[in-house]
Structure 1
Amino acid sequence: MTLPKSKNNFIVIAHRGSHLVKPENSIAAIQEAIELGVDYVEMDLRTTRDGHLVLIHNEMVDRTTSGKGRIQDLNLDEVKRLTLIAKDGHIHKLPLFEDALRICKNRVNVYLDFKDADAVQAYREIRAAGMEAQVLVYINTAEQYKSWRRAAPKMPLMSGLPKYIRTEGELASYLAEMPLAATDNLPYQSLLFAMRENGLSVFLDVQASEEDLVSWNTAINKGVQGVQTDHPEALIKYLKQNNLRRRVKVPIH
Structure 2
Amino acid sequence: MSAYKNKFLLIQIVFCFISTFSIGQNLPSSKHKLIVIAHRGNHTNVPENTLASIDEAIKYGVDYVEVDLRTTKDGYLIIHHDGTVDRATNGKGKISDHTLEEIKKLQVFNQNKKTYKIPEFRDVLKLCKNKINIYLDFKDADVAQTWKQIQEAGMEKQIVVYINKKEQYPQWKSIAPQMPLMTSIPDEIKSTDQLSSFLNEIKISVIDNVVNPEMEKIIKEKKISTWLDVQSPTEGPASWDEAISKGVQGLQTDHPEALIEYLNKKGLR
TM class by shorter chain equals over 0.9
Provide the C-alpha distance between the structure 1 equivalents of 2:198 and 2:209, rounded to a whole number of angstroms: 15
Q: Distance in 2 between matches of 1:171 and 1:76?
A: 41
Q: Distance in 1 between matches of 2:72 and 2:245?
A: 42
Gap regions ≥5 residues in structure 1 = 246-253
In structure 2, what is the equivalent of residue 117 of structure 1? Answer: 141
- Verify: 1:79 aligned to 2:119, yes or no: no
Q: Does 1:189 align with 2:213?
A: yes
| Match runs of 1:133-152 below 5 Å | 133-152=157-176
Per-residue CA deviation, residues 38-79 of structure 1 (Å, 9 max, x unaligned), is 110000000000000000000010111111110010001101
Structure-1-length-normalised TM-score: 0.93
Correspondence for 2:115 = 91
Shift of 1:88: 2.1
Cα deviation for residue 92 of structure 1 reads 0.8
Amino acid at match of 1:30: I
Q: Is it true that 1:227 corresponds to 2:251 in the alignment?
A: yes
1:69-121 residue CA offsets vs partner (Å, 9 max, x unmatched): 10010001101111111112211111000000000001111000011111111
CA contact (8 A) 1:14 1:230 kept: yes
1:69, 1:164 → 2: CA distance?
A: 33
- Per-residue deviation, 1:192: 2.3
Aligned-pair distance for 1:146?
Answer: 2.1
Gaps (5+ residues) in structure 2? 1-24
2:70 corresponding residue in structure 1: 46
- SS for the counterpart of 2:260 is helix
In 2, Cα distance between equivalents of 1:165 and 1:115: 23
Mapped contact 1:156–1:181 kept (Cα < 8 A): yes
- For these two proteins, the number of residue pairs brought into alignment is 245
Fraction of identical pairs, as percent: 50
Letter in 2 for 1:103: L
Higher relative contact order (CA 8 A, sep 6+): 1
Aligned residue for 2:182?
Answer: 158
Partner of 2:131: 107
Larger CA Rg, structure 1 vs 2: 2
**Residue-by-residue CA offset, 1:5-53 (whole Å, 9 max, x unaligned):** 1110000000000011111000000000011111100000000000000
User: Are 2:58 and 1:31 aligned?
Assistant: no
Matched, 1:18 2:42: yes
